[in-house]
Chain A
Amino acid sequence: MKLTLKIWRQKNSSDKGGFATYPVDHVSKDMSFLEMLDVLNEELTEKGEDPVHFDHDCREGICGMCSLYINGKPHGPLQTTTCQLHMRSFNDGETITIEPWRAKAFPVVKDLVVDREAFDRIIQAGGYVNVNTGGVPDANEIPVAKTIADLAMDAAQCIGCGACVAACKNASAMLFTSAKVSQLALLPQGQVERKTRAEKMVAQMDAEGFGACTNTGACEAECPKGISITNIARMNREYFSAVMSSDNV
């Protein structure tokens, strides 16, 4: 395959940045999208140019590190992670536009790499449970209904990639935050901090400068892990009942 890549290049967070165009040749349909970029980077390095910086880690769709806004959609045309996207999803001769996630809370570090620590700070604000240390508890000591466990596990699928923020017209982090609130609120282990968790995680989400939710559903449609916006409704319930009844005046 022969392709033209239109890639966002930006030296650092204070650089203005802009698009650069690169022709690539001999791309196999079986390459992953990131492998295709690896090939480009090898060529750039050999020519003594600065390779295109992009985030990745596991390359098997489980870590949430890869990103990229490809041809107008986060993680490209399929509902999967960029590392699981293959060149067979594109046509020979196509021009592919590659941009970083765009959000005030996700500043560009370099080229296509954005800083997603805002998500870490939301987790630090309340996405944990306190447990007493001691002996290993017996398995099945705490009964959890299968249906509830399934809902919690569905929410826990979120890999924190940020595609929901990238897809949302408001750059809202509601889908991510609601998945993290839900996975703990549903389980018995999460009851102790249930109210403060909802309050603190929402407050942190706001402090990071994410937008509000207009319920467009773009996040759910683009999330590589199929996180449902029913989690957003659950977080809203958690939050409203927490502010009405918690001890935080």
Chain B
Amino acid sequence: MSWVTKTLKSTLGRKLIMALTGLFLILFLTGHVSGNMLLFKNDGGEAFNIYAKFMTTNPAVKVLSYLTYISVIAHVIYSIILSRQNKSARPIGYAESKASTNSRWASRNMGILGTIILIFLVVHMQSFWAQMHWGDLPVVTYDGEEYKDLYSIVNFAFQNIFMVIGYVVAMAFLAFHLSHGFASAFQTLGWNHKKYSPAIKAIGQFYCIVVPVLFAAMPLYIYFTS
């Protein structure tokens, strides 16, 4: 085995991949939430549709989007590998366990939280991402240029109260995943320092609330305003 494969097969190498892909997904979420804020603009979706076209055609964004796909896939694959390794490290469990006295719930349930996020991702990509790429979307024209009207699809989807509830609940799970994951990734990278760790933890707690709340506000806003 070469040193590279040996390292990636070690527990620390596996965790390194989890942390790097997780952090990249956090970067992605930041961009995603910022762009989608255009949904709050009262312009019938013009700014949002122009943005959506840019995101699916710009070559630089293409590179980033492929990195995102790779990150999601690697993050999920390694979460399965790690979960199996961790499970097999304790074949017989305890009859009585007071884990809640020594650790936070989210940190002990990253796999369950991640699985729910994954189910959400599949539904989410099917409803919007796949539609934008291959769907038969209505076309709108702004300033003589044609745009796929993704906004109308989004608008239609969030007339459905069950869609809205599903999205809000999924964002709650994302919040819990990030409430542990954000700071955890830095610890995995070895970035634990008196000067920086308190700030990392504080930013993590801020981020894990603000970003999911903004995401959850979008379906709610559309449902209640249209």
Chain A residues with Cβ under 8 A from B102's Cβ? 73, 167, 216-218, 221-222
Instruction: State A146–B104 Cα separation when bound (angstroms).
Output: 34
B98: nearest chain-A partner, CB-CB: A72
Q: For window 71-127 of chain B, which residues contact chain A by CB distance below 8 Å? A: 82, 85-86, 88-99, 101-104, 107-108, 110
Chain B: CB-nearest residue to A242: B7
Interface membership of B190, Cβ < 8 A: yes
CA distance A229 to B85 in the complex (A): 21
Total contacting residues, chain B, CB less than 8 A: 41
Check A212–B192 contact: CB distance below 8 A: no
Q: Is B42 an interface residue (CB 8 A)?
A: no
Are B90 and A212 touching (Cβ within 8 A)?
no
For residue A103, CB closer than 8 A to chain B, the reply is yes
Residues in A neighbouring B101, C-beta threshold 8 A: 73, 221
Complex Cα distance, B84 from A211, in Å, reads: 9
The interface residues of chain B lying within 8 Å CB-to-CB of A234 are 190, 192
From B11, B108, B189, contact of A213 by CB (8 A)? B11
Q: Are B86 and A209 in contact (CB under 8 A)?
A: no
Whether A169 contacts B108 in the complex (CB less than 8 A), given A202-B10, A206-B11, comes out as yes
CA of A232 to CA of B190 in the docked complex: distance in angstroms?
A: 8
A214 B16 Cβ-Cβ under 8 A: no
B89 — which chain A residues lie within 8 A by C-beta? 103-105, 170-172, 209-211
Within 8 Å by CB of B16, from A169, A217, A229, A240, lies A240
Contacts of A171 in B (CB 8 A): 86, 89-90
For window 64-117 of chain A, which residues contact chain B by CB distance below 8 Å? 69, 71-73, 97, 99, 102-105
B179 touches A (CB below 8 Å): no
8 A Cβ contacts from B125-156 to A:
none
Q: B191 near A233 (CB under 8 angstroms)? A: yes
Asked whether any CB of chain B lies closer than 8 Å to the CB of A58, the reply is: no
Interface of A is mostly: mixed
B30 to chain A, nearest CB (A): 22
For residue B14, CB closer than 8 A to chain A, the reply is yes
A52 at interface by CB-CB < 8 Å: no
Chain A, residues 179-215, CB within 8 Å of chain B (1/0): the string is 0000000000000000000000011011001111111
Query: A157 within 8 Å of B by Cβ?
Result: no
CB interface residues, B 2-36, toward A, < 8 Å: 2-3, 7, 10-16
CB neighbors of B among A16-46 (8 A): 19
Which residues of chain B are near A19, meaning CB under 8 Å?
A: 95
B187 touches A215 (CB 8 A): yes
A237 within 8 A of B: yes
C-alpha gap A205/B190 in the complex (Å): 18
Q: Which residues of B lie under 8 Å from residue A248 when comparing CB positions? A: 3
**Cβ-neighbour of B187 out of A8, A102, A205, A233 (below 8 A):** A233
Q: How far is the CA of A32 from the CA of B199 in the complex (A)?
A: 43
With known contacts A102-B93, A169-B86, A239–B99 Cβ distance under 8 A:
no
* Contact among A169, A206, A232 for B99, CB-based, below 8 A: A169
Instruction: Collect the chain A residues with CB atoms within 8 Å of residue B159's CB.
Output: none
26 A-B contacts (beta carbon < 8 Å): A72-B97, A73-B98, A103-B90, A169-B90, A202-B12, A209-B89, A210-B11, A211-B11, A211-B86, A212-B15, A212-B86, A214-B108, A215-B107, A215-B187, A216-B108, A217-B103, A217-B104, A218-B99, A218-B102, A221-B103, A222-B102, A233-B187, A234-B192, A236-B187, A248-B3, A249-B2
- 10 further interface pairs, Cβ-Cβ under 8 Å (given A72-B94, A211-B85, A237-B190): A103-B89, A167-B102, A169-B99, A170-B85, A205-B11, A210-B11, A211-B88, A214-B107, A214-B108, A217-B103
| Interface positions of A (Cβ within 8 A of B) | 8, 19, 69, 71-73, 97, 99, 102-105, 167, 169-172, 202-203, 205-206, 209-218, 221-222, 229-230, 232-234, 236-237, 239-240, 243, 248-249
